Amino acid sequence: MAAGDRLYRKILAATRFFSKGWGPASAYESLLELFPYLNNRSSITSLLAEHTHPITTTQPKERTWGSRIAGCFLSPLATLCPGMLPEIATKARFELLLPKAWPTPDRPIYIHLAGTGDHGFWRRRHMTVLPLLKKEGIGALLLENPFYGGRKPVDQRRSQLNHVSDLFVMGLALIFECIALIGWLERAGLGPVGLTGISMGGHNASLTASVCPNPVPVVPCLSWSTAASVFTEGILSESVCWGVLEEQLLHSKQGGNERLHNIFKIAAERQINGKYGDPIQSCDQDSGSLFPSHPTILPVRPSIYKSEAHKETVSLMLAVLNSATHFSNFAQPVDPELALFVAAKDDLYIPRHNVSDVRTLWPGCRVDYVTGGHVSSVICHQAKFRNSLAETMARVVNRGTLC
């Protein structure tokens, strides 16, 4: 039920995202430089060939169900854009779980990406991976997010990212790390290799699938076509430090940070030009605004705005997040028919009413729905998520499509 989403938000009332603001202009500038590569699969392959680093693993630990292996490697982003990742986040860590015996000649495996607040591997291992491995013989690689677990900066409190840019750096690092891991798994004789995740993990899995140079099965659970609505309309918008972002936006407009303001203008122009295909509403005239008298995409609840400055800040957040996370800003996957989205009907964390439909952006993909809200679905619909993973992988194996 959606009531569970509201209750969970009240329990975590002290949670505050982006308490240090938008983040350094250099992070956004690097992102803009890399975007052309993300939309050119041959370029991304050549780029990563120069920045894929050796992967080291521990000896397998044998269990009754199979084996567990720990591994690590230097994130490609660490050498591709030095300084973009915090030093503590440069080493990617993962856990590989393999069945004792494969039930078919194939060796299917999913890379599981973490959702918001999912530090370490325990939750994914026990709620999703082991039941799927024991029942279907599907292996798993659990990748730890930058800014989470052992990759969390010392000045970051729990899952509360300090900067808006941290969200993009996390996603970009995961895309590169996943592509490197897919190649490593295939060279080890494992595959087909799929991608999956819940919530934020599902969205990062989707973006990775769109960049991957080969067809890849992807099962995003409780995610949709953009992360923008999550922080501008969803329940998590109540956890954003809007005052800090508003002050920094004003400072940049007054000449205090010209480089950052140029980034803001680029994002605003993209939003005004209707790049994302979402419903369009009009902004009020404001000669000092980044969105003066132009149509732009705004949340449908105008009552949330405390002032014109707050309204502009929310609009900018929407524009910046869409620039980096909206599906229309990325290529379609090589084979969208290998994608199965599992969405919650009453999800208050991932609003869909004012957002492009994934079936429009990825023609041929499938969408299944579960009852309830975001939090209740994570708790009550794990069996549905696992069945969706098994079904999608079976379709891939049966049609002979390898990643």
Predicted confidence (pLDDT) per residue in 73-105, tens digit: 999 999 999 999 999 999 999 999 999 999 889
Q: Residues with Cβ < 8 Å from 163, sequence gap 6 or more?
A: 18, 20, 21, 22, 23, 24, 27
The verdict on 321 and 340 lying in the same domain is no
Phi first, then psi: give them for residue 96, nearest 5 degrees: -110, 125
How many other C-beta atoms lie within 10 A of the C-beta of residue 139? 23
**Which pLDDT score is estimated for 12?**
53
Residues 299, 263, single domain; the answer is yes
Domain edge (last residue) among 278, 301, 325:
325
The residues, any chain, with a CB within 8 Å of residue 399's CB and separated by 6 or more, are none
Query: Which of 325, 345, 376 is the last residue in one of the domains?
Result: 325
One domain for residues 252 and 395: no
108 and 175 share a domain? yes
pLDDT digits (tens, 9 = 90+) for 273-327: 555 544 334 344 444 555 544 444 455 455 566 778 888 899 899 989 998 899 9
Domain match, 345 and 291 both: no
Residues 123 and 259 in one domain: no
Q: Tell me which of 260, 290, 325 is where a domain ends.
A: 325
- 252 domain-assigned: yes
Q: Domain for residue 1, yes or no?
A: no
Judge whether 76 lies within some domain: yes
Mean pLDDT estimate for the chain: 87
Does residue 254 sit in the same domain as residue 194?
A: no
Q: 89 near 151, Cβ under 8 Å?
A: yes
Range of the domain at 275: 242-325
Q: Which two tokens stand for residue 210?
A: 């769109």
Burial 320-341 (b: 16+ CB within 10 A, else e): bbbbbbbbebbebbbbbbbbbb
- The mean pLDDT value for 222-236 works out to 91
> Which pLDDT tens digit goes with each residue over 104-116?
899 999 999 999 8
Predicted pLDDT of residue 398: 83
What is the total count of domains within the chain? 2
Q: What is the pTM (predicted TM-score) of this model? A: 0.90
**Is residue 9 in a domain?**
no
CA pair distance 23, 323, nearest whole angstrom: 16
In this structure, the answer to whether residues 315 and 192 fall within a common structural domain is no
Residues 202 and 264 in one domain: no
Average pLDDT (117-126) is 92
Residue percentage of the chain with pLDDT more than 70: 87
pLDDT for 194-207, tens place per residue?
A: 999 999 999 999 99
Instruction: Answer yes or no: is 43 within a domain.
Output: yes
Looking at the fold, whether 173 and 271 belong to one and the same domain comes out as: no
Q: Rounded to a whole number, what is the largest CA-CA distance in the chain?
A: 67
The pLDDT of residue 285 is 40
Question: Do residue 247 and residue 189 come from a single domain?
Answer: no
Q: Are residues 219 and 247 in the same domain?
A: no
Q: Is 389 within a domain?
A: yes
